[in-house]
């Protein structure tokens, strides 16, 4: 007997489509895994000596299915790149024609059965944004090959630690704008929405490759689409009315938490929807279905800023004669944290300090020069200045 809690799932990015590379595997935390082979067959219509059915003949094998996950920052970035057909460039993702594939493997640790799909690429990704829960993503995969075994060994090698980032929820959505106008309680209220990216993949069969699996998975048209449920209002009416003239609608929103986030922009889409109605105690809502056209969408990744650990000013003490100057140096750690600081003097009439940390001795006495991190005002360091004749 096997328990679902004991089935490991992991992936590794391929260099050559269909070939599993050496290297570390990435754990895939998921709600469900529907990636599997489908063995197609055709009824044998031969007539035997008796009237017994002659059974079926195996024809082709398709490998694919849905993997449902909760969404965390960074967890699905490579799958998004496969869906868009383009690698991330400077934290920006847009549509391309590259084939980005993976090997995805599972291992039931309690019964020693393992399986692997190779040449896996993303056919569709569907993001569901409910009004009161966590964001879920359903990724539909299509693959070129499948293998399985029951010898108590796994295809997964050196699995990396599971993703520890926080899960995105409806509370993490912000900056939801339609046609550049922020949607809020005053003009409309969005109850829920969805967003799907569909590659309309086709299976290419190749005679002569010696197996019943697909020779290639071919992406065709790339279509972002979805639906948005919004309270019936003047703004919602104007959006509904756009279908009468086929006017373009622009959608953008941001989702993010302390780990990082993403900004989605669909520059041009068309909408359809029915005229809404409701009972006497209902809040009337309209569901608008939208489909992007002509202009490719973009996703911008928003990494969380590096948390400042400390500010270090050098030298810690300095002695200057009246009229002399001295540059102070500052380093903010760790590497990658913002190096911007503000400089202040406890006695500017004795020793002043510029925006760049240049100290000038003005009159005899002492002063404390402080550098404060612009990103975190609790992180500071000082230099004690003594001004002499």
Residues 259-286 have pLDDT tens digits of 999 999 999 999 999 999 988 898 899 9
DSSP state of 14: -
pTM of the model: 0.82
Could you tell me the two tokens for 4?
Answer: 């679902």
Q: Which of 307, 381, 305 is nearest to 341 (CA)?
A: 381
Q: What is the pLDDT of residue 138?
A: 98
Can you tell me the distance from the alpha carbon of 374 to that of 339, in angstroms, rounded to the nearest whole number? 8
Q: Which of 282, 303, 324 is the last residue of a domain?
A: 303
Q: What is the pLDDT of residue 187?
A: 82
Asked if residue 236 and residue 174 are part of one domain, the reply reads yes
Can you tell me the distance from the alpha carbon of 327 to that of 27, in angstroms, rounded to the nearest whole number? 50
Distances (CA, A) of 73 to 52, 87, 187, 317, 363: 58, 17, 30, 44, 54
Asked if residue 88 and residue 11 are part of one domain, the reply reads yes
Asked if residue 280 and residue 208 are part of one domain, the reply reads yes
Mean pLDDT of the chain: 93
Asked if residue 332 and residue 199 are part of one domain, the reply reads no
Structural domain that includes position 293? 4-303
| Number of domains composing the chain | 2
Q: What is the pLDDT of residue 163?
A: 64
Q: Which of 271, 303, 335 is the last residue of a domain?
A: 303
- Secondary structure class of 171 (helix, strand, coil): helix
Strand-pair category, 317-321 with 380-388? parallel
Can you tell me the distance from the alpha carbon of 364 to that of 347, in angstroms, rounded to the nearest whole number? 11
Q: Which of 302, 276, 278, 279 is nearest to 287 (CA)?
A: 276
Q: What is the pLDDT of residue 361?
A: 96
Q: What is the pLDDT of residue 314?
A: 96
DSSP state of 240: H
Q: Which residues contact 14 (CB under 8 A, 6 or more apart)?
A: 20, 21, 101, 102, 103, 118, 119
Q: Which residue has the tokens 């056919």?
A: 123
Asked if residue 201 and residue 121 are part of one domain, the reply reads yes
Asked if residue 132 and residue 223 are part of one domain, the reply reads yes
Q: What is the pLDDT of residue 278?
A: 87
Asked if residue 227 and residue 367 are part of one domain, the reply reads no
CATH number at residue 318: 2.60.40.1080
Q: Which of 99, 94, 89 is nearest to 224 (CA)?
A: 94
Asked if residue 124 and residue 10 are part of one domain, the reply reads yes
Asked if residue 271 and residue 229 are part of one domain, the reply reads yes
Contact yes or no for 179/257 (Cβ under 8 A): no
Q: Which of 303, 332, 364 is the last residue of a domain?
A: 303
Asked if residue 172 and residue 277 are part of one domain, the reply reads yes
Asked if residue 135 and residue 100 are part of one domain, the reply reads yes
pLDDT < 50 stretches in the chain: none
Radius of gyration of the chain (CA): 30
Asked if residue 239 and residue 121 are part of one domain, the reply reads yes
């Amino acid at each position: 007997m096997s328990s679902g809690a004991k089935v490991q799932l992991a992936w590794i990015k391929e260099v050559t489509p269909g070939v599993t590379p050496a290297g570390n595997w990435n754990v895939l935390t998921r709600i469900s895994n529907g990636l599997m082979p489908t063995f197609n067959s055709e009824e044998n219509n031969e007539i035997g000596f008796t009237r017994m059915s002659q059974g079926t003949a195996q024809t082709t094998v398709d490998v694919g299915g849905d993997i449902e996950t909760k969404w965390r920052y960074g967890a699905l970035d490579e799958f998004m790149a496969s869906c868009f057909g383009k690698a991330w460039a400077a934290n920006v993702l847009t549509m391309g024609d590259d084939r980005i594939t993976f090997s995805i493997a599972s291992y039931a640790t309690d019964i020693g059965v393992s399986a692997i799909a190779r040449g896996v690429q993303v056919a569709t990704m569907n993001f569901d944004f409910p009004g009161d829960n966590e964001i879920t993503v359903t990724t539909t995969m299509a693959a070129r090959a499948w293998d399985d075994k029951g010898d108590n060994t796994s295809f997964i090698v050196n699995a990396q630690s599971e993703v520890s980032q926080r899960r995105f929820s409806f509370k993490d959505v912000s900056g939801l704008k339609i046609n550049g106008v922020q949607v809020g309680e005053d003009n409309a209220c969005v109850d829920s929405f969805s967003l799907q990216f569909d590659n309309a993949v086709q299976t290419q069969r190749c005679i002569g490759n010696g197996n019943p699996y697909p020779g290639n998975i071919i992406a065709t048209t790339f279509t972002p689409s979805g639906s948005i449920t919004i309270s019936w209002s003047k703004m919602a009416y104007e959006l509904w009315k756009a279908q009468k003239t086929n006017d373009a609608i622009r959608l953008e929103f941001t989702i993010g938490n302390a780990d990082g986030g993403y900004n989605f922009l669909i520059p041009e889409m068309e909408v359809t929807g029915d005229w809404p109605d409701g009972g006497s105690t209902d809040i009337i809502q309209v569901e608008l279905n939208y489909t992007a056209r002509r202009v490719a969408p973009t996703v911008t990744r928003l990494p969380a800023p590096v948390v400042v650990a400390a500010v270090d000013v050098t030298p810690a003490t300095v002695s200057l004669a009246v009229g002399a100057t001295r540059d102070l140096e500052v380093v903010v750690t760790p590497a990658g944290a913002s190096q911007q600081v503000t400089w202040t003097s406890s006695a500017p009439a004795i020793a002043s300090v510029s925006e760049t940390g240049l100290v000038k001795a003005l009159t005899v006495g002492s002063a404390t020069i402080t550098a404060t991190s612009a990103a975190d005002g609790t992180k500071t360091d000082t230099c004690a200045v003594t001004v002499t004749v």
